[in-house]
Amino acid sequence: MASKPRSPRPPSARRGVVAAAVLAIVLPASATSAQAAATNQDTLVYSIDPVVVTATRGPRELSRIPQPTSVVQRIELQRQMPNTVTDLFRTLPGLDVTGVGVNQGRPQIRGLKGQRILLLSDGLRLNNSRRQQDFGEIPALIDVTGVERIEVVRGPASVLYGSDAIGGVINVITRTPEVDGIHGMGAFRYGSVEDQYSGTFRLLGRFDAFSVRAGGTLREAQPYFAPAGSFGDITLTDDVVVDGTGAKDQMFDVRLGLDLGGHSVFGKFEQYDAEDSGFGSVNPSAYDPTGTEIRITYPTQVFNKVSAGYRMSDLGAVLADQVEILGYGQDNERQLRFGIGPFQAGPGTLEIDNLNTTDIRTYGMRAEARKLVTPALLLTYGVDAWRDRTVGTDENTTLMVGFGPTPIEDVNQRPQLPEASYLSLGAFLQGEIEASDRISLVAGARYQHVNAKTFDTPGLEDQTPIDLTDGTFVASMNSIVRLTDAVSLVGTVGRGFRSPNLIERFFDGPTPEGGGYQVRNADLGPETSLNVDLGVRFRDGPIGFEAFAFRNKIDDGIRITPLGTQINGQDAFTSTNVDELLYRGIEFGFDANLGAGVTALGSYTWVDTEDVKDVENPVGESFATKQSATLRYDLPGGGFWTAGEVRHNGDQKETNFGSSNPVGGIMPAFTVVNLRSGIRVWRSESGMEHQLNIALTNLTNTLYAEFGNVGFFRPEPKRNLTLSWQVTF
């Protein structure tokens, strides 16, 4: 199939995207050499045992965390030039990616995705109760250029974080100014295969007790091209465009902070504005002349968030040594357009178009305290609460041709989801116990109260408002035993949970994917899980590795179930608590400093998913095996680095893509090779530094799709050259 021509880029858009990069070059002349040197060191140093906070809500070295945890630091963000933080997960053990394009990538952890993964920004949740089960919030809401590090807890973390953490937690931690004076960065990025242009400028300042951070990114990208080739039963004779993978978006954030001895306060504003993005798809005519085109696009999305926090430390009070109070409000307005056809229906053709507009407003808070009760016991306890309120409209248009002398257009504006609210209240307690010099225990419990209700909604006068309340109790026990200074054993056992969201309980109408008609079910209960991890960590000088085996069983799993009837000519389905899913796997990761600037890294993951009630039912939703290896060279003293990366995903046979899926019954294996390099182009006497990073991804020009993108065929980009010019000062 011939490639589609690209639409010309408006000159104004080019000028706007380039402006931020130009500002980065002309503004930073006032930075002192001492400040710049400190900033550059802060930017480039890689800590082999970073301090993390997500798993226990307090600072701990990664080697002392009693749970499987992955960390991506800022130096990798600079080197890999990702569109979103999710792009960095492809080579990490236990992690996978679903979604395509510059802003639609979403994470998976150990085979779980969507609302079973909790996404946090600086410890505050981004998930909302309006998303479908398999669609979590997009990490693109967070500007990747302002990120300090990403912490991933692989496995349930419901005790500390509540609902949606049944599969794991991803906490994106943003930068705060640490160095006195003004410093910052600017960058310009270009991607060849998607014709992407983006510009970034970020400013950080600290003046004694006062700190400020501000920055943003402008980005415009066209839909990318996938290469010709074969993948399963699909063969593309020419490069094809993957519709809906571009976007025109912009991000901005500003943070003000004040630190006065044992008291600190901050306020932050974030905004994300996107146009012309989509779910991603290849027109079926490229590989199946009888296929019907399905289009899922997101015409607009505007996200605004305001957050504030206050921390008191070194209190020495009876009940607390440290208290932190966080609050936030966010507004997420977005449009979803679903189109299918035209397709043959009896004597004529049908074409369906649905436009949904939704506004979700969320208010939340978290208050927690930490108290060192004895030298061997540290307590963390608190409460959290959040409330979603959602309103929306639907306009469903069906165009019928061939059923009469003239086309017939039917327009239905009945809302598929009533106006609704979702309230979550939780209380938690966790104890960290140093049983001896070599044994640490972390145990905790949470009680969660959830209220979901609907309201009188225009167009749904036949539906009676519903008010539902349920509660859930979970607990966990994690341990780490240091056998020697180099070897530690890690064990965890705990329950997780996820409360049904508004879509699962109250959605009533044709499903966005066109698979049928979903009937609301107000009787849904929460999913619960029992997870066990056993692992070993080793670190001896330049060599380190970890290996974990896990078993996570989800009871009362929520799944769309056929009712055996039809509504408006479509097969009827509803959400029910039917699944008992068992997730098992092995994760292995290593790193080794081989000397002379050479570092080797690698990982291996095996994941197996089983339907306990029907072992013959294939329910895999991620890869079965994944291996990755990276060899990197850093010039001693800095100034140049280069790396080669290989990833291989094996066949996945335990899945069911549906009888009509063009890929076939097996998810094919694939291998991807990437090359990356960076060079310091120039450093001034004042410390300003110019860096050029180059990446050549999918070096072999392989046609492939990540597992989550196969059922609705969305292949990855062809061979792509990415360039980034970055200035730090």
**pLDDT tens by residue, 269-310:** 999 999 999 999 999 989 888 888 888 999 999 999 999 999
Strands 570-595, 517-519: parallel, antiparallel or unpaired by DSSP? parallel
In-domain check, residue 430: yes
Residues of the chain under the 50 pLDDT cut: 1-47
Distance CA 241, CA 714 (A): 10
Burial of 437 (0-12, 13-18, 19+ CB in 10 A): exposed
Burial of 59 (0-12, 13-18, 19+ CB in 10 A): exposed
Q: What is the CATH number of the domain that holds 273?
A: 2.40.170.20
Predicted pLDDT of residue 704: 97
> Is the distance from CB of 285 to CB of 265 less than 8 angstroms?
no
Tell me which residue of 538, 590, 539, 671 sits closest to 90, measured CA to CA. 671
Q: Residue 660's pLDDT is what?
A: 63
CA atoms within 13 A of residue 405's CA, in its CB half-sphere: 0
Determine, yes or no, domain membership for 625: yes
Please report, in angstroms and rounded to a whole number, the separation of the first and last CA atoms in the chain. 48
Per-residue confidence (pLDDT) for residue 166, from 0 to 100: 94
Q: HSE of 466 in the Cβ direction (CA atoms, 13 Å)?
A: 21
Interacting residues of 621 by C-beta distance below 8 A, sequence separation 6+: 108, 111, 112, 113, 609, 655, 707, 708
Q: How do residues 67-112 score in pLDDT, each as one tens digit?
A: 999 999 999 998 999 999 999 999 999 999 999 999 999 999 999 9
Instruction: Report the C-alpha gap between 207 and 212 in whole angstroms.
Output: 9
Helix (H, G, I), strand (E, B) or coil at 470: strand
Residue 138 lies in a domain: yes
In a domain, 5, yes or no: no
Q: Are 415 and 380 in contact (CB under 8 A)?
A: no
pLDDT at 378: 97
* Domain assignment of residue 357, yes or no: yes
Residue in this structure with the two tokens 């291989």, named with its chain if needed: 648
Instruction: Give the amino acid at 434.
Output: E
Q: What is the pLDDT of residue 350?
A: 87
- Collapsing DSSP to helix, strand or coil, 513 comes out as coil
CA 55, CA 430: separation in Å to the nearest integer?
A: 11
Q: How much is the pLDDT for 515?
A: 64
pLDDT tens profile 573-586: 898 998 899 999 99
Q: 35-38 contacts: CB < 8 A, separation 24 or more?
A: 35/179, 35/180, 35/181, 35/182, 35/183, 35/687, 36/183, 36/686, 36/687, 36/688, 36/689, 36/728, 36/729, 37/687, 38/179
For the stretch 450-505, pLDDT in tens is: 999 999 999 999 999 999 998 999 999 999 999 999 999 999 999 999 999 999 99
Helix (H, G, I), strand (E, B) or coil at 528: strand
pLDDT for the residue 659: 60
**Residue 658: its pLDDT value, please?**
61
Provide the residue range defining the domain that includes 688: 11-728
Q: What is the mean pLDDT of the chain?
A: 89
Asked if residue 6 belongs to a domain, the reply is no
**Cα(525)–Cα(498) distance, integer angstroms:** 9
Q: What are the CA-CA distances from residue 9 to residues 20, 221, 222, 274, 711 (Å)?
A: 18, 10, 9, 16, 32
Q: Give the chain's domain count.
A: 1
The answer to the question of residue 708 being in a domain is: yes
Paired sense of beta strands 168-174 and 118-121, if any? parallel
